[in-house]
Structure formats: C-alpha cells, structure tokens
Structure 1
C-alpha cells in the first residue's frame, strides 16, 4: 500500500466503495480481502491530490445512509417484508419489525464506523468541538460539527425512522408494558424487545455532550410516566374498594417491588426515580388519610408487620412520615408516664431507672425490628424519653429524675452482695437515662453528696467501679462536671498515705493514742459537706482528746498555714461493749459513742446531765440519744425523752449478732437535706449564669439581647436548661454590679464594661 497522495476518480471509487458499504450496513458477507482493501480506498480519498475529498466522501455517505434508512422505514418497518414471521394481525407487529430492523442496522452502523476509521480519526475528530464549547457556548451540533460515521448513522436513524414513526411506536410500547403489568401473556411482547426499542431512543443521541437524553425523555419518558400514573391510579382505586388498610399496604409494596424490577429491566436509569415517584404519588400520597386512619391503632397495639409496611411506603416522603413518627412518640410518652404512675415505696429510685430502661430498650428494639433503626424514629424515642424523664408533677417544683438516678447509682455503688460485673453493667445502663436528664447539675449535686458519704464512711463496694462511673460522667458532660469528684478521690488516696506517715510519726516519738485512729483530710472546696454542721458545738470525750492533739501536732509540722476543722458529725468508729455476759462490737457515730462513754463508770444518768456534758444542741442531741434508745442499748424511765428523763444502761441487752451498726438511720437523707440540696442548685446556677454572661461579653464586647440569650443557652445546655426569667435576672444583677451596661442608642444591646 502506497501512502503517497494520488489523483482519484471519486465517482468510480465511490461506486465500488458504495457496494461494500451496502453489504456492511445490511450485515451481508464481505470478503476479507475486500474489507481490508476498502480501508486503503478511504485513505486514498481522504488524502487525494491535488485536493482531499474527505468532505465529499462524508456527504455521499450521509446521503446513502439517509436513503437506506428511508427505504428500511418504507419496506421493512411500516409494511414489513415477506420473510418476516410477524404479520399485521399481531397488535405488536410494528414493535417486532422495528426491533428486527434496528438490531440489524445498529450492528451494521457499528461495523461501518470501524471501516471509516481513518476518516473519523484524521478528518472528523480534528474538527470536533470541545466539551466546554458545547456546554457553555450554546453551539448547535447540526450547524457547526460533523459527526463520526457511527454517530451520523444513529442521528440519521433518529431523524428518518424514530421521528417519522411518531407516537405509533410509543403507543405500542406503552400497551406492551401495560399488558406486562397485568401479566397478560396472550397479548404481550417480550421484555427484551421492549428494552432494546427503548434503548434505541437513548443510543441515537448518546454521542451528544449536552442533552443526550432529550429525545428519550420527549418521545418516551413523558408519555410513559403519564400512562403509568393513570394505570396505578386505577389500580389504587380498585384496591381501596377490596382491601383493608393492612392488605392495601401489602399490595402496594408488592406492586411497587414488581414495578421496580420491571423498570430495572428496560428503563434508562434516570427514569427509575421518576417512575417510583409517580407510583408513590398515585398509590400512597393521594390516599394518606386512608393510610392514617388506622395509624393510632397500629402504634398502640404495636402491630409490627403493619407498622413495618406503613414505614416502608411512607419513608420516601418525609412529610408523610411525620404523622407516624409523632404518633409513635406520643405512644412512648404515654407508656413512660404510665410506668411513672406505678412508682411507690422506698425503692422508687430503682423502679424509676429500671422502668425507664425497660421502656427505652423495648422501643429501641421495636425501632430496630420495624423501622430499620431509622434516625428519625430514634430521635423520636429520645424526645419521648426526655419528655418523660424531665416531666414535673407541678411546674413550679423541680423534677425528681436527677435525684432518683443519683440514688440508683448510690445504691449500686454501696457495699452489697451484687457482683462487680453486674454493678458495672447496671451503671453503664444508668448513663443512658442520665443523658436524658436536663438538670444535670442537680444530679451532680446529689451524686457528689452521696459519693462523699460513701468515701467518708467506707461504704463503696469497689473503688474501680466508682472511678469508672466518674469517667463515664466525664465523657458525657466534660471535665468541669467531674472536677470536684476527682478531687474527692484524690483526698482519700492522700489521706491513706497521711495515716501511714502519722503512724510512723507516733513510733518515732514513742507515743500511743490509746485507740486505732484513721483520719481523712478533706479539701473544703471539693467536698459538699455543708457549712452549718461543721460549726456544731461538741465537748470531745477525754478518750479522743489525746489522739486529736497528737494528729494536729503532726499535721502542722508537715503543713504549716493550714487550718484543721474537725467534722465530728461525719466521724464514726467501733465501740466494744462488754457490760453483759456477751461482748458486742458496735459501729456508731462520734456523738453516739460519746454518749455511751459517759456510762463507763455509771449505769444511770439524767437526760439533761448528758446533754450538758456533751454540749450538743437540742436537735442534734435528741437525734443521737434517740437512736441509742431505739436500738435498746439505753432505756429511759419515761414514754418520751425529756429533760427530766432518767437514762439507764440496758444491762439485759441481747442481740443475735455480735457485730452490728446503728448508724444507717442517721445517714439517710432527711427531706430538709434534699430541699437544701435543691436550693443550693439554684444559687449555683445564678453564679454559673453570671460567670457565663461575663465570659461571653468579655469576648464579644457588644451583643444584642437575643444573641446573648442564645449563646447563654448554648453554653449552659451541658449542665442544665436555664429559664429565660433567671437569665434576665442575672443580666440585671450584672448591670447593677457594673460588669455590663446597656448601650446608649439601643435598649436591647449590651456592652462589656472593661
């Protein structure tokens, strides 16, 4: 083969080439030698001397293909050929003829495109427009650009075949799809034929860089979607007359699945969401009231199958799903409030937490099984649980959830027969309820008071469990929330080391305290011990004076400048009682121990005499001596305790246990202590809000009222949800204290006073 350009007789050359082109486009046999020689012919035409004839070749090929497609339309598609097995009595004859003709032609064009390889690559592609020019330049293909031969063949098919057939072809397609939906096998056309014909609408414009689906959408998709809508509108109306809500949903899901599988077989992927939307509109959105008619019953009776089906058909429409979500939320709330109404007895805290956990776990499992753990329903569960947990018996009274959860944790962490693994598991679950509590600062107050009692009185079941719980609270609310709790732990460990050093100090000086002494040094700022009880007057028994003096001497040598305040009301010890035939070891508080020590050398004392010796106030003294009388270690000669009562040692005391405690009743929280704790929370909140306001204003300098409120709410939500009234009072207080001021030109704007 010579690559040198030469003079070409185009008419003669094209005549020979045209025969081969005809054979290729009609899929007739072309001899191998002829096939390869035609590549040389096309090359020679494109580089002909003195002038290349590529454009003329392109024009003649285009005219040939146009004539060929028009002949196919006339002889094979509209009237059919004699060899076709189909006849005009077949309602889908046009589809069969078009399918057969298109299959042959599209394959022939593919081969023809290979034959014209040189023309495509060296002549046409060099003139092609870039994608940027097409997309952003609003340039028309027909006016400015030559197509590759394969693309040209498809474009000619579009203009001369598809557009000429018009709606006749699409009407038969829609009829075939309709019969397929009805499972009408006697009057149907195969899925392969439908798929290939629809695909031809896409293929003929696939080469376009812009608007490649325009023909497909205009000629087929639009009428198809309209026809599908009408079909499913009739289907829905028919089902509504025959079915209950439950069976209607099942039928809808079944038909939607069938339609989706059908669409996957023969539609372009872009049409599938549109078809689904059309079907959903006709079968679901148009009949929402009917579907909602049994929604309340499904939720209240927890009909999982029906709920699953209702969720499935409503999920694509978030607005339609809202009513189901709201109904579900209200049902959880109702169930939770019903559980709250059953709480009674001393173990209310256990019933509350474990009851709420049952509610939460029940509906979490239901959401997983029925609603596929949809975040929308999980959010509804959170809102419902939060509403129940933070509900109040009276608007003006604080909720009890924070106190009850703190008590529940306290009951787990106290010494008991519960295994450590079980304690850890229950504590982990309690965090689930804790996270829903809005007043987390109230929980923190109660928890810190109860932790203090456990640490001071050595009541903790496991220090590892205590530390794990604090770490969980830290993860949920941050370091600031658990700062004081960590410091309390530190004090206990430091106190242990301090006692070792104190014992070493006594040995070095050959001193003896006379009793086994264990001291806990507590930081005043970290421990919630209350300022009032620390100042209770008390005449320390002589048995305690020496060890107290020795420890103070030791402490001030090691830590100068620190002041020790003895909190006798928090102290306890073991006292050995040996005044009867049997010995007892009794654990009691300091004041109780001091009362019994007065009976060391006597068996009877007057009530007033005991009080004067100890110098305790009336309430404190009556509380502790009353506990000894109740335990029957002491007996009185009157029905009630009074100044004239004679208190006697009960020498006939009998107890099955030789080792017991009489401190439990005294360590219980009184209603007044609970009230004081709640009141102290309000004071802490005011201080917290004022500090937050100052911090925000110092950073922002100038801020409008509403913006300041929003920032305060955002920063406070970790600990509690402050009411707007309290925030306004705090703002006014800071204005009075001259931390902030109102700006002169605006009544709702504040500025920071540096």
Structure 2
C-alpha cells in the first residue's frame, strides 16, 4: 500500500469560515515563513511518495496523474483558495518536474508502441511543467518520420507516384487523427507533423532520398494527378476521384517547388485535353479550382485558359460547320473535320519537330476553308498549325475485314502515299511530305513496328505496304486501334525542356520581384533586398541566393537598378 496523507477530521466549511475572519495582515503572516516551512516539509513528503509510483508501476503516468488528482481534491476541500495554486504547483514540481528524465525515457517507448491511453496521460502530466513537452514533441516527430520511411521504402517503380502519394497521405491522416484525439489537438504536435511532411516536400528527407532518387517530388505529384484524371483511371467514380484529389491537396501544400509541379501538370493537362484522355471536363475544372484555392489565381491562370480554349473550340467547330452549310456553292470537305484553337501563350507547346510539312491533298480543302472562316471572324490573328499534334482516323479498305487506325497527321501523310502505289521509295516520301529526315524516319519506324509497313532489308529506303493488314504474323480482335508515337510519351528531352523552362520562369519571376521591391523602397541594402525577395517567392519556390544575385546583376546591366555611390552594399531604383 502507498502512504496516504492523514488529515484531521475537521469540518472544512467551519475551517474556511474561520479563515475568512482573519485580517489581511493575518493572512499575510500565515503565508510568510511558517507557510514556506510547511511547503518545504510537504515537498519532501511528496518526493518520497512519488518514488514507488515511478519505480514499481507498469503505467507511471497514470498513477502519478491519479495522485495529482487526489491532491487537487484535497486542496479544494481543506485549503484556502490562496494556498491552492501554490500546493498544486509544488505537487507538480515534486512529482513531475523532478522526474522529467525518467518520464522522457518512458515517452520513447509509449510513442513508438503508440499506446494511446498512456500517451494521453503523459501529455497531461508534461504540459503542466514548462520544460515537459518539447522532448515528447521531438519523440513524436522522429516516430512520424520513421513511419513515413517504413511506409514508402518498398514501393514498386511501376506505379510509384500513386503509391508514394497515398502512403504519405495515409501516414499524415493517421497522425492528424492521433493528435486530435489523444493529444487534444495541440498545435505544437501539429507543427511537428507539418515539419516532417514539409521535409518530404522540400526533398530534405530520407523518404525522398530512398523513394524518389531520380525524379523530383513535384513531378511525381503531377503524375499522380495525371493518373487520376485520365480515362484509364479504372474502377473509380468521379466522386472517388474528387475525394482523392481533395486529399492530394493536403500533401501539395507542403512542397516547396510548386512551380515545377505547375510546369509538369500543365504539360500533362495539355496531353489529356488535346488527345481526349480526360476522365471528364468537370473533374479537370474542379482540380484547377483546388489548385487556385491553394496557390492563388496567378498560379492557375494558364491552366484556366487551357481549359477555356477547349470549350471555345467546341463553339468554333459549330460555327464552322454552319459556315460550310451557308456557302453559295456546295462545299464537300470529304472528311469529318474538328479543330482546337489554342492560345499560344497559355499552352506548353514549344517543341516543333518539323518546320515544313506538306498537308495531304485529302486535308487541304478543310484547312483552307477553316482559315477562310477564321480570318473572316477574327481579323489580325495569325493561325499556326501544329501538325505534329494533329490526329486522324484512317480506314483500311483493301482487306477482307475493315480496320480503322488512329494515327498522327505525319503517319497519315505516309500511309496516304500508298493509295496509288504499293511501293514508295524513301525519296518519294520525303518529296511528298516535305518532312525533315529525322521526323520522317521516326514516323516510318512507328508504322514498321506495328507491321503496317514492310521493307526490303536489302533496300533500306524502300518501304512496301504489307500484304495482309498488320502482317501475316499479327492477329487481333480489335477493329479499331491506336498507334502511339513518341509525341504522346514522356521523353527525357521533354523532361529537360520542362526543367529549363522552370529555370527561365524563375529568373523572370525573381527579376520582376526585385523591380517591384526596389520601386516601392527606392533604396535598399543587399541583405535586406535578398530577404524580401525570398519572402515574396517562397509561396512558389525557394530561390537560391546565387540565383537572386545573378538576377540583381542582370537588372543592373538593364539599368533598372544601380549600386549606390555611397555604399557598394546598397542599391537604388532607377526611375
């Protein structure tokens, strides 16, 4: 049995009434030296009382907490309110503060084993003393980090973006729930969780070192969204996709390089929209709005314009069809023709493989009529045809069974060259299509790979249309199929182009930020300018000091700012 404090059997109400009659001076004397001696004796007693609780009990936090509650009840019952706070503080010091080393040691075991009841009791004990919680917060932060590594260490490369993001979300959700229910939603513990998650987003965590050694996290997150928003996201309804994208924003808020994510997301969005791969336009719009709420209008302005271009193009197609029907002479295009008119400044379409291309005769009339229609409705605008992104359907009529191939315009031009001859030389293909040699070789190779074309191995540049469709050795139940080209796949060149575009955008963003700051401040010292630029930029990315310095030098050369004549460490704005 543990020792109990023995009190006289007094009527507490009578005792309190008696104390109320004591003069103010008497109360002060009572709380003088005699009271201090009483607290000292009481402290020694409680120190002895606490030792067996810590050394013998299987759940020390619970036992100590129970003893503290008992003391609170006794203090409220037998002591004057002016003594209550002092006695409770003394109890906390003797039973908690004097044993922090032991309690902190218990923290590690309790947190690692996630003993929720013991964690709640430990939290209640430690928050009562000033230096109690920091160690527990640190232990939880380490535990969350280890759980993150454990959850993402064995992911397969095949579906890395989805598995990685969902693993991080699972760990984050788990500890948000734990902190809210066990640790009273304490913001110090929430901050520890935020810090660990932010380490993942900034690439400064072992989670990133082990799981994403080759690709930046921003690109992985963009790929995760791409997988959800494609038609190939099988087995999920639009509502389920919506829930996953909402959860994704939780992770997205923690990444530093949001501009890298924006570049990769825009490139993937362009492919989904142009090639008709989106799950639904509503889902695309909902995701853009989520990003807008997280990062602001500027971050998503180009994404909004891309989305708007698709609906505007649908309206243009209807107007064009009406334009064809209202011509004085009957116009027969001979094909089903649909166009997308895209704003040059909004779409990430910088790669133009072939500057020259001769449109097949079968398409010429449609192109000419649309240009006539567009110029009549929009004066002063210039249309640039992106043939390398155009696609069409070619019906194979020479076989016993009809097949339809979905091909690019380049592939279509090569195939249509075989309409009048079963054998076409490489030189004839070059002259007929006007494609550059590199692009023509890639196009012909894509058709050879699927056996739509055969070639004589002795005559490398003679391409012979395959006798049976798809070749003798190929069999398929599909009557309609698509030939994928390198344009529709992620290539290392595209990745490098995206990274280069990010660097260029960052330089322009930093230069604009420096000019804004200097225009407002007129004169500013070097370190103060760098700090203000970092503060303005951190919502999009964390700029390096060296990049900021280079941008300052560029602006000095452009005469936007100049070094002060009185101090080399000071800049002045040039009006």
TM-score calculated relative to the size of structure 1 = 0.70
Counterpart selection for 2:334 from 511, 514, 517: 514
Shift of the alpha carbon at 1:752?
A: 1.0
- 1:77-226 aligned at under 5 Å gives the runs 182-183=3-4, 188-190=7-9, 192-193=11-12, 196-198=14-16, 200-202=18-20, 204-205=22-23, 214=28, 217-218=31-32, 222-226=36-40
Task: Report if aligned partners of 1:332, 1:385 keep a CA contact under 8 Å in 2.
Answer: no
Query: Does structure 1 residue 298 correspond to structure 2 residue 298?
Result: no
Q: Which moved further from structure 2: 254-263 or 215-224? A: 215-224
Counterpart selection for 2:461 from 638, 644, 647: 644
Q: Tell me the residue number matched to 2:230.
A: 414
Point out which structure has higher relative CO (alpha carbons under 8 A, 6+ apart): 2
Task: Report if aligned partners of 2:393, 2:404 keep a CA contact under 8 Å in 1.
Answer: yes
Task: Report if aligned partners of 1:608, 1:643 keep a CA contact under 8 Å in 2.
Answer: no
The whole-number CA distance in structure 2 between the counterparts of 1:445 and 1:714 is 22
Over residues 481-504 of structure 1, what are the superposed CA-to-partner deviations in whole Å (9 max), with x where a residue is unaligned? 111111112211111111111111
C-alpha change, 1:560 and 1:200, in structure 2 (3 Å) is same
C-alpha change, 1:535 and 1:666, in structure 2 (3 Å) is closer
Shift of the alpha carbon at 1:220?
A: 7.5
Shift of the alpha carbon at 1:420?
A: 0.7
The whole-number CA distance in structure 2 between the counterparts of 1:652 and 1:575 is 13
Counterpart selection for 2:538 from 717, 720, 723: 717
Q: Tell me the residue number matched to 1:672.
A: 493
Task: Report if aligned partners of 1:390, 1:399 keep a CA contact under 8 Å in 2.
Answer: no
Task: Report if aligned partners of 1:606, 1:643 keep a CA contact under 8 Å in 2.
Answer: no
Which has more radius of gyration? 1
Query: Does structure 1 residue 702 correspond to structure 2 residue 523?
Result: yes
Over residues 104-144 of structure 1, what are the superposed CA-to-partner deviations in whole Å (9 max), with x where a residue is unaligned? xxxxxxxxxxxxxxxxxxxxxxxxxxxxxxxxxxxxxxxxx
Q: 3-state DSSP class of the match of 1:293?
A: helix
Over residues 542-583 of structure 1, what are the superposed CA-to-partner deviations in whole Å (9 max), with x where a residue is unaligned? 111111111111111111111110001111122222221111
Query: Does structure 1 residue 332 correspond to structure 2 residue 152?
Result: no
C-alpha change, 1:608 and 1:312, in structure 2 (3 Å) is farther
Over residues 377-421 of structure 1, what are the superposed CA-to-partner deviations in whole Å (9 max), with x where a residue is unaligned? 1111111111123326679x9961111111111111111332111
Q: Tell me the residue number matched to 1:468.
A: 286
Gaps in structure 1 of 5+ consecutive residues = 1-180
Q: Tell me the residue number matched to 2:370.
A: 551
Task: Report if aligned partners of 1:575, 1:593 keep a CA contact under 8 Å in 2.
Answer: yes
C-alpha change, 1:217 and 1:704, in structure 2 (3 Å) is farther
Query: Does structure 1 residue 592 correspond to structure 2 residue 404?
Result: no
Over residues 612-639 of structure 1, what are the superposed CA-to-partner deviations in whole Å (9 max), with x where a residue is unaligned? 4222233322332222222222223339
Q: 3-state DSSP class of the match of 1:319?
A: coil
Q: Tell me the residue number matched to 1:728.
A: 549
Over residues 500-523 of structure 1, what are the superposed CA-to-partner deviations in whole Å (9 max), with x where a residue is unaligned? 111111111132221111111111
The whole-number CA distance in structure 2 between the counterparts of 1:212 and 1:483 is 75
The whole-number CA distance in structure 1 between the counterparts of 2:42 and 2:464 is 98
TM-score calculated relative to the size of structure 2 = 0.91
Task: Report if aligned partners of 2:358, 2:432 keep a CA contact under 8 Å in 1.
Answer: yes
Counterpart selection for 2:385 from 555, 566, 589: 566
Counterpart selection for 2:65 from 243, 250, 253: 253
Q: Tell me the residue number matched to 2:564.
A: 743
Over residues 270-296 of structure 1, what are the superposed CA-to-partner deviations in whole Å (9 max), with x where a residue is unaligned? 544433322221112212222222433
Q: Tell me the residue number matched to 1:235.
A: 49
- 1:381-530 aligned at under 5 Å gives the runs 381-391=193-203, 400-416=216-232, 417=234, 418-509=236-327, 510-530=330-350
Gaps in structure 2 of 5+ consecutive residues = none
Q: 3-state DSSP class of the match of 2:465?
A: strand
Aligned length: 561
Shift of the alpha carbon at 1:650?
A: 4.4
Shift of the alpha carbon at 1:424?
A: 0.5
Q: Tell me the residue number matched to 2:168.
A: 356
Q: Which moved further from structure 2: 480-489 or 224-233? A: 224-233
Task: Report if aligned partners of 1:308, 1:370 keep a CA contact under 8 Å in 2.
Answer: yes
